[in-house]
Structure 1
């Protein structure tokens, strides 16, 4: 076997595996696939001509972001290959090696433009595109968040059937309000096509959430945000998410969207096995403070916080999953193993791709991040290909 760019080994690292951190660990990669991940081995096969000394740094699996709208000044709703490339290159350089392009509530034609672009997108030096997360337009006008209320519509099974036929395999998650008329029918339709039905931007009561879970709903987007809150006599959507283990829960761990105490409550209720970290990043991620736009609505970013200019509602985040990971470890006291489970393995498992990516394990794609002492990426590999120079 000849040496290729994606055949190498990296040793002398703190290797974060699914179950533990291995000090003085070693990762061996052949043709982009992990062939060994464990304690440093004493011998080296001849075809491993490229050996990298990790100098005792952390080696993490690549992050998988199932809820990201944009970055580097671009938005997936721009529906252009250039916008896709900019977003996926930016997040990849921060350690996100795979993602779902996430839409916002918009007219049917604009959503179809995003689906069309995604269906033809060719990766170019950035994160892998795993599909589309359709966030809206089938949401509650009572909890629009930063979504444009003018474009909210009731569930449209006819739209979904058309998109499923035109873009097979592309839709991976659809976020909807389970209490709206026709939502249960839509959930069952999604499940019949192996698309994840998620609750979000919802005024659903506790019992309505349970009915949605009975119909097949299995996920909740940005838990706490833009959903009916917890009350001791009516637990609401939040109460259902926290207590029903059929539902996995996204958390935005940026210190702005959710109070630390509420984050700790969610982690205690769900456990790290049913929690996902997401960025919910908008176009302003990686950009300076200033004026931006989201779905035709003005957004002002000040000190890294994005809010709708008119209403002051939070308008997504300006973080990446690396920031979410560091907040979980540094502020919440989550172990690196558990933080990687929530930012890497659980998102991959939600999408049914945990046999391919999501952890540093033999047989999986070599998606990895080498962090420096400052917590910044020193190198990112996607299927064994180095990204940073």
Structure 2
């Protein structure tokens, strides 16, 4: 790959801000700094950014699907296409393909499909198993008939089928078998995440969960006599919290409350998107259930929110609009925290030696280009 130089960008590296900077890169970042420190080298392909804004590529650790595809379909070509569309249209350069509560056979199929897709598409860096080890009380849009108690053998089976790519699992820590389940996760590099859970604060204090799936949604809420899952996540400094910043799953004031309480270094933006993202409004599908999409909201027939149609680039802008966060703060929540939590050492910041995963926005924060491993892409629409 030829060496490219992006000049005259306002660069938020994830570690510092460079008002008029340059990045020299091929598949990896070779150098970054103030533009007056750049010395032209033979063969460099120079791109003038014209003062536009450059940030690290986004990391979505919770996305089921989009553009007509879903990880549960288990089709490796479709899963790969889905990941590429998320990259070029939304700036997601790292994806954890996310499953949901379904039959053992269907999850087996999904794990095989994701494993094959990841072998050919390095955007897919992991799997997020959302269920089936959840609480029926807070099942949300997950089909109740497939819910199970935490089961180490099943988790080990799915991890093996995925090529040991399971990085995150959503479960209900109050259910029987959780302790052994958590121990397996911690010994196999899997982050245990409380979600779709009715756990009390006391139960959470005995849990090893260090992550909360879509904070506020589908969990025991916090009240003045029982903090619940949400209160526990707010109170404990070691807990990373996912936020779906579409304005529907969480009203903006509650997003601001979470950010102010947790701080920018413990919030992770996610989309929790499903196959209807990027598609026309109307009828869609999630886990064998009919979903109806209208006014940027996806709901089951009973009105239950069923994932989202949120694009990550909009979550990035929305968190600033809803909370007053700066671009640097939004970068922390969109890229840096995920890389730190999941040990994605080549991701999350724009720094020498890291993968050249970057997003270029204009000054109105409209996505213009995405670089994935140094290759340039523009949005399809």
TM-score (normalizing by structure 1): 0.93
TM-fit CA distance, 1:169: 2.3
1:383 aligns with 2:362: no
Which residue, out of 337, 342, 354, partners 1:351? 342
Residue 324 (structure 2) aligned to one of 293, 308, 333:
333
CA contact (8 A) 1:96 1:127 kept: no
Counterpart in 2 of 1:65? 60
Task: Give the secondary structure class of the aligned counterpart of 1:250.
Answer: strand
Residue 151 (structure 2) pairs with residue 156 (structure 1) = yes
Q: Retained in 2: the 8 A contact 1:71–1:86?
A: no
CA shift for structure 1 position 98: 0.7
SS in 2 for 1:138: coil
Tell me if 1:205 matches 2:200.
yes
Q: Give the equivalent residue in structure 2 for 1:26.
A: 22
For structure 2, the residue ranges without an aligned partner over 5 or more in a row are none
| Matching residue within 106, 117, 138 for 1:121 | 117
Q: In the comparison of the two structures, how many residue pairs are matched?
A: 378
Match of 1:229 in 2: 221
Give 1:8-23 correspondences, 5 Å limit.
8-23=4-19
Q: CA deviation at 1:167?
A: 4.0
Q: CA deviation at 1:330?
A: 2.4
Aligned residue runs from structure 1 range 155-194, under 5 A: 155-194=150-189
Work out whether residues 85 and 123 of structure 1, in 8 Å CA contact, stay in contact via their aligned partners in 2. Answer: no
C-alpha distance 119-44 of structure 1, shift in aligned 2 (>3 A): same
How far off is 1:145 after superposition? 0.7
Kept in 2: contact 1:33–1:383 (CA 8 A): yes
For 2:353, the equivalent position in structure 1 comes to 363
Deviation sequence 1:278-316 (CA, Å, 0-9, x none): 01111111111100111111110001100112x211111
Q: Cα offset for 1:122? A: 5.1
What is the Cα deviation at residue 143 of structure 1?
0.4
CA drift of 1:198 comes to: 0.5
Aligned partners of 1:122 and 1:156: how far apart in 2?
25
2:260 matched to 1:268? yes
Distance 2:321 2:9 in 1: 20
Deviation at 1:45, TM superposition (A): 3.5
1:100 and 2:124 are equivalent in the alignment: no
Residue 324 (1) aligns with residue 315 (2): yes
- C-alpha contact 1:127 1:382 (8 A) present in aligned 2: no
In structure 1, distance between residues paired with 2:118 and 2:233: 36
* Structure-1 residue corresponding to 2:241: 249
SS in 1 for 2:36: coil
Q: CA deviation at 1:123?
A: 6.3
- In structure 2, relative to structure 1, the CA distance for the partners of 1:249 and 1:43 (3 Å cut) is closer
Distance 2:288 2:226 in 1: 35
Shift in alpha-carbon separation, 1:8–1:197, aligned structure 2, 3 A: same
- Cα deviation for residue 346 of structure 1 reads 0.7
1:112 corresponds in structure 2 to: 108
C-alpha distance 122-268 of structure 1, shift in aligned 2 (>3 A)? closer
Q: Which runs of 4+ in 1 moved over 6 A?
A: none
Which deviates more from structure 2 when the two are superposed, residues 16-25 or residues 313-322? 16-25
Whether the 8 Å CA contact 2:211–2:241 is kept in 1: the answer is yes
Alignment counterpart, residue 86 of structure 1, candidates 74, 81, 85: 81
Q: Deviations over 1:64-90 (max 9, x none)?
A: 000000000111111102320231122
